[in-house]
Amino acid sequence: MVVSYIGISSLNYSCFPPRLCFAKRKQSAVSAAMSDDPISDWILSEGNATQITRTSPIGGGCINNARRYDTDAGSFFVKTNRSIGPSMFEGEALGLGAMYETRTIRVPRPFKVGPLPTGGSYIIMEFIDFGASRGNQSVLGRKLAEMHKAGKSEQGFGFDVDNTIGSTPQINSWTSDWIEFYGKHRLGYQLKLILDQYGDSTIYQKGKRLVKNMAPLFQNIVIEPCLLHGDLWSGNISSDKNGEPVILDPACYYGHNEAEFGMSWCAGFGGSFYNAYFEVMPKQPGFEKRREIYLLYHYLNHYNLFGSSYRSSAMSIIDDYLLMLGV
């Protein structure tokens, strides 16, 4: 989803506890009043800093505000949102934590999520000093495939919490069947939002017809629930100072690995990326026929977020599949 933040300078965090901290949701008026600045409080206690030497804004986002906190213990990246509670950042932190635990591709390590005393919420994470480029495409492809291979779920398709794709809610209820999950919680959910927001019954009805009849696209393949970044476009891909790829700002869930390429229309993946990826996660029969079913989710989301300029792309995909499937 083409809404992101720019962030994240590399420190040795071996001194930090591996556990991600979530602030308690319910606070008394007394305890809430005790901390007017929970971000600085955490950095100066659990963050192992004794002084904050500088804070500076970081641009690039249009959903959240972002700042860099420089301290005598290193730098931290902090995002805040004055109107949304901690649930959005909790979903992001759990996704970052899950990807971090695969020990495959670099992601900013999350440290703390909590509410702001005047309303809204914050997330504190590792600050990664970006390099000058997005890094090597083949290394990115290989490491992404390694994450998909390592990150598996025994609970099926979904995630422990619902999260967001941009600012759109993303429903992650655990489901044993991928076609059911993708049809209901991805395409079906977006189609219903379009109907409710724009009254577009044409795309809704055609889209629902596609969902009902898309099973043949998935014949004769094995679909495992792989950990996905979920929103992998160029703005969420970078590299560190050593040239190693970094991915950030996720919308994680466990799904079909091919769904990871749903934002490829603005990710700039080249041949070397796909070649390296498929060396680790082999391409399955019918990949080309399924490619656009995964683009469709993100086109529908962009229609919901940014308006009808994305309608024609979504409708074209739906019409092509209805023709291909003969329904």
* 63 backbone dihedrals φ, ψ, rounded to 5°: -110, -45
Give the separation between CA 108 and CA 124, rounded to whole angstroms. Answer: 10
If DSSP states are collapsed to H, E and C, what string results for 51-116? CEEEEEEECCCCCCEEEEEEECCEEEEEEEECCCCCHHHHHHHHHHHHHHHCCCCECCCEEEEEEC
Specify whether the backbone of 11 is left (phi greater than 0), alpha (psi in -120 to 50) or beta: beta
Give the separation between CA 312 and CA 281, rounded to whole angstroms. Answer: 32
**How is residue 249 written in tokens?**
């700002």
What are the start-end ranges of the E strands in the chain?
Answer: 21-22, 52-58, 65-71, 74-81, 110-115, 121-126, 163-165, 168-170, 226-228, 237-239, 245-247, 253-255
For residue 16, the 8-state DSSP code is S
SS3 253: strand
Active site residue 231: yes
Locus of tokens 């993303």: 170
Candidates 36, 72, 162, 231; catalytic one: 231
Helix axes 311-325, 287-306, angle to 10 degrees: 150
* 23 backbone dihedrals φ, ψ, rounded to 5°: -70, 150
Q: Which residues are identified as catalytic? A: 231
